[in-house]
Structure 1
């Protein structure tokens, strides 16, 4: 007896969600702390960002923040004095994870502390369209293709120490496709369905 259509649909949805999350990469912005001493344009240019990827901003809360802003605010470094003009979203935990959700879009980030944006603490991230991104990632040298993972997890709200680094040799956290195939089979198995029908 084949698995029921609702069960097949659940298994397919689970598999597609897991595969989507498996393709996301995590990048520590600037390969280290979010500060005025990093060239963020150079850093951004060496990566091929895809929708679903995550940017991690690490900084000391009392010294920096992260604002996602419009292009005009990014270029002028002016949030209008009150910190609201052109601001899409603000972050101030010291360990902020920002997911890039839109393909074929540019995300703009600045630090709003006095003089920091004009001093270079601003980042433009271009997210490629899905088809173009696949071709671009294949052409990147392996050293550039490996997204960076954070040096370690910190509890929410904890202030990172200045100079927190990352291991640039660490590969992205992705699970092999075979893992998801077996996970789907396990879902079917534990649902009481007959697995023999899948292989006939």
Structure 2
């Protein structure tokens, strides 16, 4: 008995869950209904039909709802309808997946556009969210606080300027080429027109007066010489 109660509870929950998930689609709503003036093809393309949903046809008494096959839907053939419904409101339960086709049985209404194709899905299709392009942050200019400091190139001061010595002009003697093998001449040979002469006796100038010792030696030599001369004259 407990197992039966559990199964019944699960079935009830499934029914309630299915009923809450199911949707009712009023054909042509909100701007139209099941008639000739409503663009039923565009309306069907804007809806998603799932298993368990219901179609609600609301119409006037001069219309009806016929479920037909694909070939009869294309040719608007009403004689081989799967089901025929009237009375101003018809509810069709979408209990299985696949396409189902409905037309109006009044003459000329199907050809005027009063026809509906419904594609029932098992579950709702997963629509990926739109991918937005990455937002590029604007490149901000560096603030003055973090901007690199660039020191101006200053001209060298006169104190730190390099000293440039003036270039002296070469003398005329240094410009004249000197032969490598030329003999070296003395100052006397460079002037041949003035020959050197021996110094004369008159030009001799004693540098110093004779000393007393020299005088004594001269007197002694003179005395000895005089004695010798006198002796020679005596013996002769």
Normalised by the length of structure 1, the TM-score is 0.60
Correspondence 1:90 to 2:81: no
Question: Which structure's CA Rg is the greater one?
Answer: 2
Report matched runs for 1:97-112 at 5 Å: 97-103=91-97, 105-112=98-105
After TM superposition, the structure 1 = structure 2 runs for residues 143-158 of structure 1, keeping only pairs within 5 Å, are: none
Corresponding residue for residue 125 of structure 1: 118
Residue 82 of structure 2 aligns to a residue whose secondary structure is strand
Question: What secondary structure does 1:30 align onto?
Answer: coil
- The Cα of 1:134 is off from its aligned counterpart by 4.3
Deviation at 1:129, TM superposition (A): 3.0
Deviation at 1:60, TM superposition (A): 1.0
CA RMSD of aligned residues (A): 1.7
- The 5 Å alignment of 1:120-199 reads 120-130=113-123, 133-135=124-126
Unaligned runs of 5+ residues in structure 2 are 130-236
Q: 1:49 corresponds to which residue?
A: 49
Report which of the two has the higher share of helix. Answer: 1
* Structure 1 residue ranges without an equivalent (≥5): 140-200
Query: What is the CA deviation profile of residues 141-192 of structure 1, one whole-angstrom value per residue up to 9, with x for unaligned ones?
Result: xxxxxxxxxxxxxxxxxxxxxxxxxxxxxxxxxxxxxxxxxxxxxxxxxxxx
1:60 matched to which residue of 2? 60
Q: Report the TM-score when normalising by structure 2.
A: 0.51
Aligned pair count? 127
Q: Deviations over 1:52-105 (max 9, x none)?
A: 1111101112x10000100111100022xxx3x2x11111021111111112x0
Which structure is richer in relative contact order (CA contacts within 8 A, separation 6 or more)?
1
Offset, 1:106: 0.4
